[in-house]
Amino acid sequence: MKKVKKLKANKEPTLGEFFGFVKEKFETTEEQFEHLEKRMDKSDRSFTSVNERIDGVDARLGDVQRKLTKIENRVENIQDDLTSALHAADNDGSAILNHEHRISHLEKLGGIKSVPAKHLAGLE
C-alpha cells in the first residue's frame, strides 16, 4: 500500500496539493472523480448553509432597522410634545407673573390688603 501524505489542517491546500493527494489516495480516475464530487457536494452544502444564515441575519437586521425607525419617530414626537409643553408653560408662567403684578398694583391702589400667593395655592 502506498504511503499517503497528510495535509496540514491549519493550512488550506493548494489545488496542486489537493489533486496530488487525490491521485495518491485513489488508484482509478473514477475513484478520484467520485471523491472530488463528494468534496464539491460538501462545499456546496456549506455555502448553502452560510447563505441561509446570511439571509437570516439580513432579515433580522431589517427588523431591527424598522424598530429603530419607529423608536426614532417616537422620540421625535416626544421631543416635539415636550418642546410645546415647555413653551406653553413658559407663556403661562409669564402671564401669571404679569397678572400677579397687576393685581398687586390694583390692590395697593384700592387699599386692599393682599393675600400671599402661597396661601392661595395651598402651599402652606
Neighbouring C-beta atoms of residue 26, cutoff 10 Å: 15
Instruction: Yes or no: say if 2 and 24 are a contact pair by the CB < 8 Å rule.
Output: yes
Q: Supply the pLDDT for residue 124.
A: 46
pLDDT, averaged per 10 consecutive residues of the chain (124 residues), comes to 55 76 75 85 93 94 96 95 86 78 82 68 52
Give CA–CA dist 34/48, Å, rounded.
21
Q: Supply the pLDDT for residue 27.
A: 73
Q: pTM score > 0.75 for this model?
A: no
Give me the amino acid identity at 98: N
